[in-house]
Amino acid sequence: MNTTNGGPAEAPAQDAQPQLNVVAQYIKDLSFENPNAPRSLIAGQQQPQISIQINVGAAPLEGDDIEVTLKLEGKAETGGQLMFGFELAFAGVFRIRNVPQESLNAVVLIECPRLLFPFAREIVASTVRNGGFPPLLLDPVDFVGLYRQRMSQMQAANQPAPQS
């Protein structure tokens, strides 16, 4: 019986195609500090010094599911005083199928956070704005560069010490 409605039959290899599906996205943890309010909000505003740290973590779940957590930490200071600080752990559950084992690490640590980042960026911007400041719009992140840096750090840590 032909159930393809007159079209070509689907190749059985279709099931073997690499797949990356987002099962869920969520805030695991969110913290915002505005310790010098209201002074920090009404004082003459000079350009703050902003520092941001980004980390990616992953944990296997059941089956083909992996939880990837994007951690963003930042603070803005002016004149040595903290204007605001934030910490966000934004996570997603990803279902990854038919990805070769040698490529899995890169998919998890590059592609998954790349999919999470726009949502995390919006959460940070809204949180900072709701804290009384102009929204903080984070620049795009080079997750390939972060991945390479992480891999070189791991290789350096696994290198035996030179003999003297």
- pLDDT for residue 93: 98
Give the pLDDT confidence of 122-131 residue by residue, as tens digits.
999 999 999 9
- pLDDT for residue 90: 98
Distance of alpha carbon 64 from its chain centroid, rounded?
A: 20
Q: Determine the 3-state secondary structure of 52 from DSSP.
A: strand
Give the pLDDT confidence of 85-100 residue by residue, as tens digits.
999 999 999 999 999 9
- pLDDT for residue 164: 46
- Residue of 111, 107, 140, 123 lying closest to 26 (CA atoms): 123
* DSSP string across 96-164: EES--HHHHHHIIIIIHHHHHHHHHHHHHHHHHHHTTS----PPP--HHHHHHHHHHHHHHHHSPPPP-
Regions of the chain where pLDDT drops below 70 = 1-15, 43-45, 159-164
The CA-to-CA distance between both ends of the chain, in Å, stands at 75
CA dist 110 and 15 (Å) reads 23
- pLDDT for residue 4: 52
